[in-house]
Amino acid sequence: MNLNIAVIPGDGIGPEVTEQALKVTKAIASKFGHELNYLNALMGACAIDATGNPYPPETHEICMNSQAVLFGAIGDPKYDNDPSAKVRPEQGLLEMRQKLGLYANIRPTITFKPLISKSPLKEELVDGADFVAIRELTGGIYFGEPRGRSENGEKAFDTCVYTREEIHRIAKLAFEYAQRRRKKLTAVDKANILATSRLWRETIKAMAPDYPDVELEFLFVDAAAMRIIQWPKGFDVIVTENLFGDILTDEASVITGSMGMSPSASIGLHTSVFEPIHGSYPQAAGKNIANPCATILSAAMMFEYAFKLQDEAALIKEAVDQSLENGIVTEDIAGKDKAYSTSEVGDWIVNYIQNK
The tens digit of pLDDT for each residue in 3-21 reads 999 999 999 999 999 999 9
Per-residue pLDDT tens for 232-290?
999 999 999 999 999 999 899 888 888 889 999 999 999 999 999 988 999 999 999 99
Asked whether the bond before 146 is cis by omega within 30 degrees of 0, the reply is yes
Instruction: Give residues with Cβ within 8 angstroms of 269, minimum separation 6.
Output: 100, 101, 103
3.40.50.1100, 3.90.1170.40, 2.60.40.10, 3.40.718.10: CATH of 1-101+282-356:
3.40.718.10
Per-residue pLDDT tens for 64-94?
999 999 999 999 998 877 777 889 999 999 8
- Residue pair 345/291 in contact (Cβ under 8 Å)? The answer is yes
Per-residue pLDDT tens for 297-316?
999 999 999 999 999 999 99
Terminal-to-terminal C-alpha distance of the chain: 21
Asked if 1-101+282-356 and 102-268 have one fold, the answer is yes
DSSP per-residue string spanning 147-186: -EE-TTSS-EE------HHHHHHHHHHHHHHHHHTTSEEE
DSSP per-residue string spanning 183-229: SEEEEEE-TTT-HHHHHHHHHHHHHGGG-TTSEEEEEEHHHHHHHHH
Tell me the CA distances in angstroms from 264 to 98, 166, 206, 315, one per residue in order. Answer: 17, 20, 29, 18
What pLDDT was estimated at residue 256?
83
> What residue spans define the domains of the chain?
1-101+282-356, 102-268
The CATH class, in words, for 102-268 is: alpha beta
Centre a 10 Å sphere on the Cβ of residue 286 and count the other Cβ atoms it contains.
11
Centre a 10 Å sphere on the Cβ of residue 338 and count the other Cβ atoms it contains.
10
Give me the active site residues, please. 142, 190, 222, 246, 250
pLDDT at 41 over 90: yes
pLDDT at 134 over 90: yes
- Alpha carbons 153 and 170: distance in angstroms, whole number: 36
**Which one-letter amino acid corresponds to residue 113?**
K
Instruction: Give residues with Cβ within 8 angstroms of 299, minimum separation 6.
Output: 21, 22, 24, 25, 28, 70, 274, 316
Q: Average pLDDT, stretch 190-195?
A: 98
